[in-house]
Amino acid sequence: MNKKKQNKSLAASNLDLFDPPQVLLRIEIDNSVLTPQLPAELELYAIFERLNLTLFGGKLPPVKISYSSKMLMAGSYTPAKKEIKIGLRYHRLFPSELEDTLKHEMIHIVNPSHNGAFKAEARRVGASVKARSHPSLRSGIRHIYICPACGREYPRRKRLRMASCGVCSKGGKFDPRFKLRLKKEQKPLQ
């Protein structure tokens, strides 16, 4: 191969590290190749059982576990449904944090709020208290609610029906005295 063809070949394969749009485009195109496979929902139950036995002495009650493709957060626990939802979008970005999210949601089974007892339990089992953020997990804020007592603002994507201030309400339960009021509503971008 002559020198000119060799230089042209090298130039074509050279990635400019200071041009992120090309690199990001490549990641999006090859997303299925670069994204590790997440465990099936059935495997989530096995992980739950293992963590329940090793970290909680097998004392946690059985719950329903599923992935949610709509969620933008790492996970959630709904006590009324006894259900843990794992955010599919989040864990496609951060697959190594799946077990950490499951531990976090398991703590919510016995402690619904992120109070001191929750944080102590998170330290004990090695779970993080807060998930990481990523630009693709952000969505436009459409509603801003305010607490009538303390004035704290709560920006939200979705409309709230029955929500009270997390600071003023005690015990993590709805308190009508501190019901959040709609302060501002923005129209969605088109």
Full strand arrangement of the beta sheet holding 83-87:
64-68, 83-87, 75-78
Residue 166 counted as domain residue? yes
| 101 lies in the same domain as 59 | yes
Residue 19 counted as domain residue? no
- Of these ranges, 27-31, 146-150, 160-164, 180-184, the one predicted with the greatest mean pLDDT is 146-150
Q: Are 104 and 119 in contact (CB under 8 A)?
A: no
Residue 27 counted as domain residue? no
Q: Pick from 108, 130, 152: which residue ends a domain?
A: 130
Q: Which domain holds residue 146?
A: 138-185
The residue with greater pLDDT, 86 or 31, is: 86
For position 65, which CATH number holds? 3.30.2010.10
Place of tokens 């394969």: 13
Please choose, from the candidates 132, 139, 134, 108, the residue with its C-alpha nearest in 3D space to the C-alpha of residue 121.
108
Residue 88 counted as domain residue? yes
Burial class (CB in 10 A: 0-12, 13-18, 19+), 177: exposed
| 166 lies in the same domain as 95 | no
The residue with greater pLDDT, 46 or 134, is: 46
At residue 93, the 3 state secondary structure works out as helix
pLDDT tens profile 141-168: 788 899 999 999 888 878 888 899 988 9
- The whole model's pTM is what? 0.59
For the chain, what is the domain count? 2
Tell me what pLDDT residue 111 has.
92
